[in-house]
Structure 1
C-alpha cells in the first residue's frame, strides 16, 4: 500500500498502540498470567517488557539505520527474499494465531456477560462485519478513529481505576512474589509473546510524514501502554485475594462488579461496557489490518485490503474450533505464546547479525 499524503503523526500511533497493546489490561491476558502467578500478576508484565526490550530496541535501531524500509522490507533486504519470506511468514502466522485466539476470548466475554441469549455465530458475524467495514477505510482512517475515540476509552479507564481503588486492600499484594520468584520469572519470559503486537506494528514504519514520528510514537505509546498494563494488574492484585485471583476468568469485568456506588447503583459494570466495546472493536480492526499488510508485503500484493474479508473469515472459523474458553485460553493460547516468544526475541538479533555481516562485506 502506498500512502501518498502520509498524514499520520505521533498522536495517531500512540492511540493505535494504546488500543493494540495497552488495553491488554482489560482482556483475558491477566487471567492467563494469574493461573500461575496468582496475586503477583503485576510483576509478570514487568519481566515480559524487560525481556522484550533488548530485541525491540535492536529492531528499532535497524529500522532507523535502513530508514526507507518497513518490517518486511527490512527482513528481505538483510537476509534475502527466500529466507526473508520464511521468517516474515512465521511472524505473520504467530500474529494470526494470537489474533484468532484473542478473538475467541473477547466473543466469549461479550456472549457470556452482555448478550447471553444471543447466538454466538450471530455475534461473531456482527463483530467481524463492523471490523471489516472500518478496516476497509484504510490505515489513516483507523489512526484518526483511534485518536478520536481515545478520550472515551481513557475516561472509562480512569473511572474504573477510581472505582476499584475504593475496594482495594494493600495487604492483598502479599506475598509479594506470589507462588515464588522462579514462577514469576518463568511466566514473564515464556509468555512475553502476549505483547508481540509491538513488533508487528513496525510494518507501518514508513507510513508517516517522517520516520521520527513513528519512533517517537512507538516509544511513547509503548511506555504508556506498559504503565497502564502494570497498573491494572496491580489493581487486580489489590482487589482479589491470593487464592481466588487465578479462578476469575474475566478480571476486568469482575473488577467493575465487586463494588457498588451506593444503594441505587449496584450494577455499574454496564456503565463501563461502551468504552470496553469500542476498544475491542478498534483493537481487532488494527490487528487484522496489520496482518493483511504484512501478508501483502510478503507476497507483493499492493492492494492488500482485499485480504481483509478472507483472513477475517478464516480467523473466525479457526477461533470457533476450541470447544471452550478454558481450552482456548489455558491450552491453545498458552502453548502458542510459549512457542512464539523465542521467535520474537531472536529475530531482531538475527537481522542485526545479517546487517553486521553486510557492513563487513562492504
Structure 2
C-alpha cells in the first residue's frame, strides 16, 4: 500500500488514489483511482497477483406478479413437485447467522423478521442503511423470515452494497463482503454462519481470490450463478472455487432458461416466481425470479443444516450439502453438476 501512495503527488488532482483497502486472513487488496503510469508500475511488481478495472455488478432477479409459493415445498421433497407443503425440523436454524450482502433489509417495518434482523454495515456511506430497492429484503425473507424462510429462526445481518438502483461496483461489494468475513472471524462463527451474495458481474480474479481466502478460513459463501444465459465461469463471484454457486429451476426442476450454467455451478434450487418479503409495509411481499432466489434458498438451508449438524468449516458444509442433495432430477442442466437442494427430512 505504501508503494501505491508514494507515487501520488500534488499534481494528481484528477486521480483520487486508494479508495478501498481489503485485508483479512489470506487476502490483501485495494481499489482506487490511479493514472496509467501508476497502474503500469503496479502490474510490473512481482508481489502483485492481478490488476483489473472495477466493474459494474447487478442483482440477479426480476420482479413479477404474486402467485402461490412452492420453493419451500420442493426443497423438502425428492419427487418432482409437492405443492407448498414445507416439511422441516422446528429448530429452524436457531443460533445461526445469515449475512446478506445486498441492498439492505426492511428491518424496522417488517413483521416477518421478528427482531432477528439487524443492520451490520453500510458500504455506501452517504445513503441510509434501510432497503430502498427490495431485493435484499426478498433475499433475507427466503433465508429466514417466519413465513417464507428456510431457516425460520436464524439471525440476519444486513450488509448494504446497493441502493435504489440494482447496480453497484465490484469494489463496493468487496468492501461489504470483507466486513462480513471479518465479523464472522472475529466472533468465531464459521460453524454457524453463511454469507449470501445474490449479485454478480464480469469475471474478477480479485473477488474470486477473496472468496477462496474466506473458504480457507472456514467461511461458507453462497453466490448466485447469474441470469445471463451463459457459463458461470465468465462471471464472479460464482466462478470462485471457494463459492457454493447456485443455479435456478422452475417447479418441474427444469433449469430456468435465463440461469447461467456449467461446471462451476455447485447446485440447483428454486428460482421462478418466489414469494417473499418486500419493502413498503410491515407485511409487504413480492414475487421475484432468478438465481438470486435460488442462492437464498441454499443459504437458508446451510443455516438450517448448521443448527442440526456439526459443520465447522466451509469444506464440510459443502460436502454435507451435496451429499444430502437430490441427484439427477434437473432437466436441461447444460453441463452443470446435477444436484438439487434438499433438506434431508426423509420425504
If the TM-score is normalised by the length of the shorter chain, which range does it land in? under 0.3
TM-score by length of 1: 0.22
TM-score by length of 2: 0.23
Relative contact order, higher structure (CA 8 A, sep 6+): 1
